[in-house]
């Protein structure tokens, strides 16, 4: 999913000013072209209504079409919406914009018909003023909803772009143990890497090709505390592991420079609640103080070099559903 193309949601006054400004331009142009005709005013006012209707209808309807239907999103994004936005407020806002579109159409049809049937100059102007007032009232009634939808758009633009149909490996472990470095080695991506804790400020995503199959890797920050205590990025990581990961690669740091072996073993145990296959990658093995616990060293799913790790991931790909495989030339 990619939320970068969501249309910017302007304020109610912005839409009204744009609509009325363009309507006046259209009417002025028509008057200049029809000076010798007696029904110039009537046609000019009808042109204003048509311009206002088309512009407001187009912009507001574009908002509705731009946002995805939340209930039709992959489960990962549905839960992400629920933890970052008020789902009920979004539904209400979409309903309000849809209501405004319908009311604008109704008033435009009604007042266009009145003006067409009208033969008095004063009544034409009266109907026009009424129309402008009602249209302004309709758009201003959704003022708060437009502001909320712009807030939602900005929030959703910050969502990670994750392909939910691709075989996905979540790289897990404590901060500063080498997760981001491993992502770079596996995929060639260049995420931010620094020598202090909690460097990862978003979900870094990279791709590589293993056994002719596209594999997605997600660098998932966080220590898996209670969900409600996690920051937004940690919550994204939790949901990515829960809903997107087919396999977890746990990065174990034997140097214990950042976290001790006991804490890392406890985190491995906590990851088992996701009921996902997991393999261990031991980082920083070049450091002399490295101390790999026997429980990890003796495990069959423990690796210290990239090629062995890739080969192990390749074995899990065989169990991945054929119809869900996405080969390199299809991405």
Per-residue pLDDT at 219 exceeds 70: yes
Looking at the chain, how many residues does it have? Answer: 331
- pLDDT averaged over the chain? 83
Per-residue pLDDT at 211 exceeds 90: no
The more confident residue out of 63 and 288 is: 63
pLDDT of residue 30: 60
Q: How many CA atoms lie less than 13 Å away from 36 in the CB half-sphere?
A: 0
The per-residue pLDDT for range 233-268, each reduced to its tens digit, is 888 888 999 999 999 999 998 877 778 888 888 888
Q: Once rounded to an integer, what is the mean pLDDT over residues 65-79?
A: 90
Q: Once rounded to an integer, what is the mean pLDDT over residues 187-205?
A: 58
pLDDT category, 229, cuts 50, 70, 90? confident
Q: What are the helix and strand counts (H, E) for the chain?
A: 11, 6
Q: What is the rounded distance in angstroms from the CA atom of residue 134 to the CA atom of residue 118?
A: 19
The per-residue pLDDT for range 78-113, each reduced to its tens digit, is 999 988 899 899 999 999 999 999 999 999 999 999
- 167-330, which class in CATH? alpha beta
pLDDT category, 201, cuts 50, 70, 90? low
pLDDT of residue 140: 97
Cα separations in angstroms, 327 against 209, 218, 316: 8, 18, 16
Which candidate, 138, 141, 118, 140, places its Cα nearest to that of 128? 118
Distance of CA 83 to the CA centre of its chain: 13
Bridge partners of 219, per DSSP, are 171, 204
The more confident residue out of 68 and 233 is: 68
Cβ(315)–Cβ(300) under 8 Å?
no
Query: How do the domains of the chain map onto residue ranges?
Result: 12-157, 167-330
- 12-157, which class in CATH? mainly alpha
Per-residue pLDDT at 284 exceeds 90: no
pLDDT of residue 32: 55
pLDDT of residue 330: 40
What backbone torsions phi and psi does residue 211 show, to the nearest 5 degrees? 55, 40
Cβ(227)–Cβ(238) under 8 Å?
yes
């Amino acid at each position: 999913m990619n939320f970068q193309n969501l249309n910017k949601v302007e304020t109610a006054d912005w839409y009204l000013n744009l609509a009325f400004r363009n309507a006046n331009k259209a009417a002025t142009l028509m008057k200049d072209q029809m000076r010798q005709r007696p029904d110039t005013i009537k046609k000019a006012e009808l042109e204003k209504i048509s311009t206002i209707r088309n512009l407001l209808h187009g912009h507001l309807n574009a908002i509705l079409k731009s946002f995805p239907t939340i209930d039709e999103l992959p489960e990962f994004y549905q839960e992400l919406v629920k933890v970052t936005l008020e789902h009920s407020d979004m539904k209400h806002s979409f309903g309000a914009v849809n209501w405004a579109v319908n009311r604008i159409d109704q008033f435009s049809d009604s007042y266009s018909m009145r003006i067409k049937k009208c033969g008095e100059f004063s009544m034409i102007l009266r109907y026009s003023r009424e129309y402008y007032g009602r249209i302004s009232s309709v758009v201003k009634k959704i003022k708060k909803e437009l502001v909320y939808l712009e807030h939602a758009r900005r929030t959703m633009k910050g969502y990670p772009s994750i392909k939910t149909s691709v075989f996905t490996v979540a790289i897990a472990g404590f901060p500063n143990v080498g997760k981001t470095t491993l992502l770079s080695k596996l995929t060639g991506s260049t995420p931010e890497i620094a020598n202090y804790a909690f460097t990862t400020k978003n979900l870094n995503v990279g791709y590589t090709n293993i056994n002719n199959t596209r594999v997605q890797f997600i660098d998932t920050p966080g220590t898996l505390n209670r969900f409600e205590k996690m920051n937004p990025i940690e919550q994204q990581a939790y949901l990515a592991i829960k809903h997107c990961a087919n396999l977890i690669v746990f990065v174990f740091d034997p140097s214990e420079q950042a976290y001790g072996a006991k804490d890392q073993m406890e985190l491995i145990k906590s990851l088992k609640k996701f009921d996902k296959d997991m393999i261990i990658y031991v980082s920083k093995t070049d450091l002399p103080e490295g101390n790999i616990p026997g429980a990890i060293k003796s495990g069959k799913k423990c690796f210290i070099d990239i090629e062995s790790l890739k080969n192990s991931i390749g074995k899990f790909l065989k169990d991945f559903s054929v119809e869900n495989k996405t080969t390199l030339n299809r991405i």
